[in-house]
């Protein structure tokens, strides 16, 4: 309807320029008023049914008044501007709920349950009950929350904790629904099923947060509660006192705040356009308004403050022939799909690969292999001890130091002698400390780290970046509860994350900021998306939000001042009429548009 109305108005003006006034021009403007006025009238009637005198009613009466005195140009322009503003608001604030569907589709649908005769049969996930014994094989999804009772392996828990490194699982360890057993075979006892699982709670939290995050009333609607009845009352009083219908309708038309209708949306569109050009996607005007008030920002660690990919941070050699050590290590690690193995292979791009003659995986320890006539051990300190590889006091000090610095360790022994210790960790993004300092200068009081990683690693990252607080070992529901607690303190909270596990917090926060290479669920439940996962865009995004919010206020002030001047002039001067008033109206609309366009150069 907005497009049709605008086309009719433009066509009418084109005909008017070509052939002057006439029935064709009036017909086109009348058609534009009727087509565009229909949804406005419907909204006005619906508002009256619930005893709300909205700005839609004022616009409706102005259109009807313009009809009465045959000022079709005014009615058509007012109609189009109002429709266009409403369209921009609705378009940018539409929330997607496809994230819920994406989460549900990730949940396991079947499970292997032990029957009475000790065999395992495939059953629907809804048939699994607490106490059932389930079997999970390599590559399978763990269907419920439970405890391992037999076997072992390593599970990728990124969907729950957001951490990329697999977690070793042995008898007695807890496992979570929706995580993936990357290697090994386990049997587990079901303890939480269905909606009670950690993964089920993530889905529930996202649904709850999306339902409870109501759209804030636009300023125009709040203003119209008082403004609309006042203008209507003024119109009636003028008509009763003067019996001058044209003056009364003029007040209605001039009182219609055209610049106010278009001023706020056009500021938002300019701000959103600037953001898109700079790799920042704002999901609507309400997001910009709230973002400008943020005083607390919560950060996920992995993939947000860090790159999210383990990298070799340090290499300590204990053998003279470095090339041989690297060649044998890479030969073994190329046989593995483990994230640490991938990090090591990536760190030695020039290593020569030898054929691996035999490989034995030691659960919870590492790999024992035979390569080019050498015995090669790759794993942790327990693997070295179990195979009688001596560690000197210097080596043990090095191991302790690397662990204290937050590294995951890979020890390499060749023919019974320690040859290399590799420290691997997720690296902090370059320039993050400077970005955080910029946020503080913009008025963000609290910069807090929330992570599923261990507290020691989290504290190291926090100390390196100078954060206000750091909390580790958190599950998704813990992060979500932390967001709630900060909001209860009256803080305006933004959360920055990239994983499925972050989606409840992204949705619960006043502003959810997702990294562009994160999961679809995180992106769809967020309010702001950083394309290409460029963390350095956050200060620009906050500054732009503040500038856009200020620009909106400026446009509102300009619009209201113009309306007040016009209405006063109707009574205080003899020169004010509808034509001059509409000219000033159009001028004020141009002013607010030009003012908003300044944001494109921010």
Locate the domains of the chain by residue range. Answer: 107-206, 279-306+429-542, 308-427
Whether 595 contacts 558, CB under 8 Å: yes
Q: Residue 181's beta-bridge partner residues?
A: 155
pLDDT digits (tens, 9 = 90+) for 129-143: 999 999 999 988 999
How much of the chain exceeds pLDDT 90, in percent? 33
The CATH architecture to which 279-306+429-542 belongs is: 3-Layer(aba) Sandwich (3.40)
pLDDT digits (tens, 9 = 90+) for 489-500: 999 999 998 766
Catalytic residue ranges: 300
With 0-12 / 13-18 / 19 or more C-beta atoms within 10 angstroms meaning exposed / middle / buried, residue 360 is exposed
pLDDT digits (tens, 9 = 90+) for 293-348: 999 999 988 778 887 778 888 999 999 999 999 999 999 998 876 777 888 998 99
pLDDT digits (tens, 9 = 90+) for 183-230: 889 999 999 988 888 777 666 655 554 444 334 335 666 666 677 778
Q: End-to-end alpha-carbon separation of the chain, Å?
A: 33
d(CA 14, CA 509): 49
Average pLDDT rounded to a whole number, residues 281-292: 80
Which pLDDT score is estimated for 106?
65
Which pLDDT score is estimated for 541?
94
Do 107-206 and 279-306+429-542 agree at the fold level? Answer: no
Whether 455 contacts 478, CB under 8 Å: no
Residues in the chain: 602
What is the pTM for the complete model shown? 0.62
Whether 446 contacts 469, CB under 8 Å: yes
* CATH code for the structural domain at 107-206: 2.70.150.10
Residues 6+ apart with CB under 8 A from 64: none
Out of 3.30.460.10, 3.30.960.10, 3.40.1110.10, 3.40.50.11610, select the CATH number for domain 308-427. 3.40.1110.10
* Nearest in space to 496 (alpha carbons), one of 470, 460, 522, 469: 522
pLDDT digits (tens, 9 = 90+) for 350-393: 899 899 999 888 876 789 999 999 999 998 888 899 999 999 99
Whether 35 contacts 4, CB under 8 Å: yes
d(CA 273, CA 392): 61
pLDDT digits (tens, 9 = 90+) for 81-103: 778 766 765 654 443 344 445 55
Residues 6+ apart with CB under 8 A from 109: 124, 125
Q: Which of the pair, 147 or 167, is modelled with greater confidence?
A: 147
CB atoms within 10 A of CB 30: 18
In the DSSP assignment, the letter for residue 116 is T
* Nearest in space to 150 (alpha carbons), one of 190, 187, 113, 112: 187
Which pLDDT score is estimated for 209?
45
Residue 244 predicted with pLDDT over 70: yes
Whether 375 contacts 368, CB under 8 Å: yes
How much of the chain exceeds pLDDT 70, in percent? 84
């Amino acid at each position: 309807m907005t497009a049709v109305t605008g086309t009719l108005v433009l066509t009418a003006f084109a005909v008017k320029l070509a052939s002057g006034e006439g029935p064709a021009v009036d017909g086109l403007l009348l058609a534009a008023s009727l087509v565009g006025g229909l949804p406005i009238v419907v909204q006005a009637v619906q508002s009256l049914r619930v005893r709300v005198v909205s700005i839609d009613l004022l616009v409706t009466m102005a259109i009807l008044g313009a009809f009465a005195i045959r000022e079709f140009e005014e009615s058509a322009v007012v109609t189009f501007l109002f429709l266009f503003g409403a369209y921009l608001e609705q378009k940018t604030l539409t929330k997607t709920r496809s994230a819920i569907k994406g989460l549900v589709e990730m949940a396991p649908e079947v499970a292997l349950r032990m029957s009475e005769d000790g065999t395992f049969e495939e059953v629907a996930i809804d048939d699994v009950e607490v106490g059932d014994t389930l079997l999970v094989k390599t590559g399978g999804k763990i269907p419920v929350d439970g405890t391992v009772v037999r076997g072992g392996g390593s599970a990728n828990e990124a969907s729950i904790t957001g951490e990329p490194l697999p977690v070793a699982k042995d008898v007695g360890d807890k496992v979570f629904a929706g995580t993936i057993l990357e290697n090994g075979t386990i049997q587990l006892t079901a303890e939480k099923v269905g909606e009670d699982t950690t993964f089920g709670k993530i889905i529930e939290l996202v649904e709850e947060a999306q339902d409870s995050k109501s759209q804030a009333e636009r300023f125009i609607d709040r203003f119209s509660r008082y403004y609309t009845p006042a203008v209507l009352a003024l119109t009636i009083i003028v008509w009763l006192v003067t019996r001058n219908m044209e003056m009364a309708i003029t007040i209605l038309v001039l009182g219609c705040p055209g610049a106010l209708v278009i001023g706020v949306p056009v500021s938002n569109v300019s701000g959103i356009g600037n953001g898109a050009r700079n790799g920042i996607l704002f999901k609507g005007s309400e997001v910009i308004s709230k973002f400008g008030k943020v005083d607390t920002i919560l950060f996920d660690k992995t993939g947000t403050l860090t790159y999210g990919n383990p990298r070799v941070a340090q290499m300590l050699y204990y053998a003279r022939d470095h090339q041989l050590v690297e060649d044998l290590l890479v030969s073994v690690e190329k046989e593995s799909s483990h994230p640490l193995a991938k990090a090591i292979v990536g760190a030695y791009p020039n290593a020569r690969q030898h054929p691996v003659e035999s490989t034995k995986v030691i659960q919870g320890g590492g790999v024992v292999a035979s390569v080019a006539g050498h015995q090669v051990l790759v794993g942790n300190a327990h693997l070295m001890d179990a195979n009688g590889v001596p560690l000197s006091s210097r080596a043990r000090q090095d191991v302790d130091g690397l662990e204290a610095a937050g590294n995951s360790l890979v020890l390499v022994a060749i023919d019974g002698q320690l040859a290399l210790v590799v420290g691997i960790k997720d690296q902090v993004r370059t320039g993050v400390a400077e970005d955080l300092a910029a946020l503080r200068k913009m008025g963000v009081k609290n910069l807090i780290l929330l992570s599923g990683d261990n507290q020691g690693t989290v504290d190291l990252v926090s100390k390196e970046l100078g954060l206000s607080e750091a909390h580790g070992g958190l599950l998704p529901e813990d992060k979500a509860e932390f967001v709630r607690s900060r909001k209860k303190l009256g803080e305006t909270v933004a959360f920055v994350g990239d994983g499925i596990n972050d989606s409840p917090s992204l949705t619960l926060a006043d502003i959810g900021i997702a990294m562009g290479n994160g999961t679809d669920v995180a992106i769809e439940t967020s309010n702001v998306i950083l394309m290409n996962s460029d963390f350095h865009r956050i200060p620009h995004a906050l500054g732009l939000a503040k500038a856009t919010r200020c620009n909106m206020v400026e446009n509102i002030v300009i619009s209201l001042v113009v309306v007040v001047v016009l209405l006063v002039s109707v009574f205080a001067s003899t020169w004010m009429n509808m034509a001059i008033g509409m000219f000033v109206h159009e001028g004020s609309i141009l002013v607010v548009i030009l003012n908003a366009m300044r944001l494109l150069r921010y």
